[in-house]
Amino acid sequence: MSFVNLPDRGQAVELLQRSLSRGRLGHTYLFSGPSLDDLGAVARTLAKTINCLNQTKHDGAGAAIDSCDSCASCCKIDGERHPDVQWLRPESKSRVITIDQIRELLQTINLKPTEASYKLAVIVAADRLNVQAANAFLKTLEEPPSRSVMILLTTDPQRILETILSRCLRLTFAGETKFDLESSNGTWLRAFCQKISEVSQGLLARYQLLGMLLQRLAELKEETERTLAANSPLEKHDEIEPKLREKWESELAAAVEAEYRRRRGELLLALQWWLRDVWLLTKTSSQELLAYPALAEVSKVIALRASPASAANNLHVLDHLQWQLGSNVQEALALEVGLLRLKL
C-alpha cells in the first residue's frame, strides 16, 4: 500500500510526507496509535517510499514522497523479504524483546545497505523492550548509522523508557476506540450493555457478565490466531530450516499474544467509553456528547441506578483493570475482580 492509498492518512502522514519532500528524513521515529497493524502499514509504506525503484516525487522532481507499490523492492518489503528492511517483534516466552534480539538487529543495521538506499529497522511493540534491551539500544539511537532509519511502533508509549522517547521523532496516529455498533464487536457491546440493564445486582448476575466477556475474548483470540497464522511465512514456504522455523514459530506466538492484548484492550476501552456515557447521564440529560447515542436508553437505565461518584469510579476501575492486564496478571482473575467492583 502506498501513502496515497492509506485508508486514514491524517495529519501524521502529511507531516511525514512533508519531511520526505524537504529531504529531512529523521533517523529514528516513534509511531504511536491504537493499532499495531495500522502503524506497521505506515512503517512499511515509509520503507517502500525511500527504497522504491519508481518513486513518486513532489511535482515530479526532488525527494520521493510515495512509492509505486509494485516494483521489485516494494514487493520484497511487502513480503518482509527485503534484506535491508528488518522487522523485530517480541518472541521470548515472556513476550518481551530481549537484548539478544537487539544485538542481532544492531549488527545488521550497522552494515551498509545490500541493495537499497537505506537500511531500516522496524521494532513492533517497542513497549515490550526489556530494560537490558532498551539500554543496549540507546547508544545506537544517540549515534545512528548513516543511511539508516529506525522506526519504533507502540500502542502504549507510556511504557517506553524516557531516555528512548527523548531520542525519537514522535508521530501520533490518533484514533478513538468506539465501535461501529453494526460490527461484530459493536454487536457484542450492545448485547453486553443490554444484559447489564436487565440483570439484578447479585453475584450470579455478575458472573453471567463475566461469562459473556470471557467468551468474547476467547473468540477474539481465536480470530487473531487464525488471521496471523494465515499471514505467517510458515504458511508460505514448504521447506524451512529447523532454526528458521523455530524463529518464525516464536515470532508468530509473540505476534498473536501482542495482537490479542491489543484487541482485548480495545474491547475494554470501548466498554469504558460506554461507562463514560453512563457517567455523563448521571449529570445531564443531554445526549449531545455521548459516544454511543444509539445506546442512550440502556445507558439511562444504568445512570438512574448510579450516582455521579459511583459512575466516575467505574471509569477508574476500568483504568486500573487495563493497567493490571498490561502487567501480566492472570487474565480471568483480573477481569473477575474488575467486574465485581463495578457499580452497575
First to last CA, the chain: 45
Q: What is the pLDDT of residue 89?
A: 87
Which pLDDT belongs to residue 300?
93
Distance separating alpha carbons of residues 74 and 59, to the nearest angstrom: 22
Q: pLDDT class for 175, splitting at 50, 70, 90?
A: low
Would the pLDDT of 174 be above 70? no
pLDDT at 278: 93
Is the CB of residue 43 less than 8 Å from the CB of residue 1?
no
290-319, pLDDT tens digit by residue? Answer: 888 999 999 999 999 889 999 999 999 988
Considering only CA atoms, which of 172, 167, 178, 134 is closest in space to residue 155? Answer: 172
Cell of 42: 505506515
Residue 28, beta-bridge partner list: 150
Q: Which residues contact 135 (CB under 8 A, 6 or more apart)?
A: none
Q: What is the pLDDT of residue 122?
A: 94
Residue 333 pLDDT exceeds 80 = yes
Question: What φ, ψ does residue 333 adopt, rounded to 5°?
Answer: -65, -45
Residues 335 and 320: beta-carbon distance below 8 Å: no
The residue with greater pLDDT, 9 or 114, is: 114
Compute and round to an integer the Cα radius of gyration of the chain: 23
Read off the C-alpha cell for 63: 525527494
Provide the residue type at 304 as one letter. Answer: L
What is the C-alpha separation between 189 and 180, in angstroms, rounded? 10
Q: How do the domains of the chain map onto residue ranges? A: 3-172, 184-341
Task: Tell me the average pLDDT of the chain.
Answer: 85
Q: What's the pLDDT at 92?
A: 57
CA distance readout (Å), 178 to 30, 190, 197, 198, 268: 24, 12, 20, 23, 10
Percent of the chain with pLDDT over 70: 92
Residue 262 has pLDDT above 90, yes or no: no
Nearest partner of 96 among 151, 133, 43, 122, judged by Cα: 133
Classify domain 3-172 at the CATH class level: alpha beta
Length of the chain: 344
In percent, how much of the chain has pLDDT > 90? Answer: 26
The per-residue pLDDT for 61 is 58
pLDDT band at residue 150, thresholds of 50, 70 and 90?
Answer: very high
pLDDT greater than 90 at residue 226: no
Residue carrying C-alpha cell 510526507: 17
Residue 230 pLDDT class (50, 70, 90 cuts): confident
- pLDDT confidence of residue 186: 86
